């Protein structure tokens, strides 16, 4: 696989973000936002190339507190018992940062890259950040795609208990027990994968080891999870989104059940709903082409980028 066409670090919102790019620098930009506790390389080079081949410049980046972007290790590990107690008492816990901060990171990364407007694609927690970006910064978002994400609606079905237990199980310190750390990550991924595309465990082990080589951030998962938990219900803000929107979700997602994706589609006027039979909480290689094409089709529904002009919306729901 060829390397990215450009890469580096840029200041944004008081942090430094690691990023790379694929495709023609003069083309419209697709911005990919990663999920909870993961790095930008979860958007594989093959997937980025599939989007670039459809005529876009593709930018992926490490969220704050992951990979090679600014880490918040000085804030320490998240005390979830204290967080729960504060919520029970009606107090808002102190957080290292919020999902709104992470959305502002993305806006300022676009500024640093001289991109006025991008087609924003987020997966899982990244889909939540993308929702905030599209609702709070509409002029910066040409189109929105949310993959395996949710609205924060407290009435939605919860995650499968065994999947959540695996996610929350403390991981071994990879500096002391890399094999144990990788084995636990594979166990989680195996549970989250859909039956239509069983996990390629060898490839996934290689991905986890690549993340460890790039930069493991102790406590980053917990601090990002705290931001996610405290993000609240976004439905009222989603109703104001006018950018063409696509919602992609697996029918076998054990972390965010199918109703979570449907809730996003129901909350955004004109959103296209694309449930994928047998897909879990993952993005297997067999789906790279179809999902890339659906993202590209959604991006092409946006009006041309004109300073001061908001994107128009296509009233149709077909992706």
169 DSSP 8-state letter: S
**Is 115 in contact with 26 (CB distance < 8 Å)?**
no
* Euclidean distance between CA atoms 12 and 102, whole angstroms: 10
User: Which two structure tokens, joined as six digits, stand for 230?
Assistant: 């405290």
Reading the block at residue 226, the tokens are: 């705290």
Sign of CA dihedral 178, 255, 83, 108: positive
Query: Which single residue is written with the structure tokens 């929107």?
Result: 245
CB 78 within 8 A of CB 225: yes
Q: Which of 194, 196, 214, 193 is nearest to 204 (CA)?
A: 193
Which tokens in the block code for residue 239?
């109703």
Active site residues: 124, 253, 281
CA 281, chain centre distance (Å): 12
Specify the 3-state DSSP secondary structure of 44: coil
Beta carbons within 8 Å of 21's beta carbon, 6+ residues apart: 4, 5, 6, 7, 57, 58, 59
**Residues 242 and 143: beta-carbon distance below 8 Å:** no
Please give the sequence-ordered ranges of beta strands (E in DSSP) within 148-189, or none if there are none: none
Contact 75, 24 (CB under 8 A): no
């Amino acid at each position: 696989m060829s390397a990215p066409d450009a890469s580096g670090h840029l200041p944004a919102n008081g942090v430094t973000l690691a990023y790379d790019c694929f495709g023609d620098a003069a083309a419209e930009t697709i911005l990919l936002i990663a999920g909870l506790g993961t790095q930008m390389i979860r958007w594989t080079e093959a997937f980025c190339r599939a989007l670039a081949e459809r005529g876009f410049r593709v930018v992926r980046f490490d969220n704050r507190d992951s990979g090679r972007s600014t880490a918040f290790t000085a804030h320490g590990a998240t005390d979830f018992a204290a967080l729960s107690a504060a919520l029970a008492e009606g107090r808002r816990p102190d957080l290292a940062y919020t999902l709104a901060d992470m959305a502002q990171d993305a806006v300022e990364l676009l500024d640093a890259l001289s991109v006025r407007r991008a087609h924003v694609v987020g997966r899982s927690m990244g889909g939540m950040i993308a929702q905030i970006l599209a609702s709070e910064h509409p002029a910066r978002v040409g189109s929105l795609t949310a993959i395996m994400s949710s609205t924060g609606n407290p009435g939605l079905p919860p995650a499968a208990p065994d999947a959540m237990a695996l996610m929350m199980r403390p991981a071994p310190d990879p500096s002391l027990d890399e094999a144990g750390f990788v084995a636990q990550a594979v166990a989680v991924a195996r549970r989250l994968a859909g039956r239509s595309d069983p996990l390629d465990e060898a490839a996934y082990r290689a991905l986890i080891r690549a993340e460890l080589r790039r930069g493991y951030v102790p406590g980053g998962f917990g601090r990002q999870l705290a931001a996610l938990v405290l993000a609240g219900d976004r439905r009222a803000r989603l109703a104001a989104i006018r950018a063409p929107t696509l919602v992609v979700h697996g029918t076998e997602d054990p972390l965010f059940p199918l109703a979570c994706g449907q809730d996003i589609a129901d909350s955004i006027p004109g959103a296209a709903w694309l449930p994928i039979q047998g897909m879990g909480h993952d993005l297997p290689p067999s789906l790279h082409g179809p999902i890339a094409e659906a993202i590209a089709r959604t991006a092409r529904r946006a009006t041309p980028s004109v300073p001061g002009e908001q994107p128009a919306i296509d009233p149709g729901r077909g992706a």
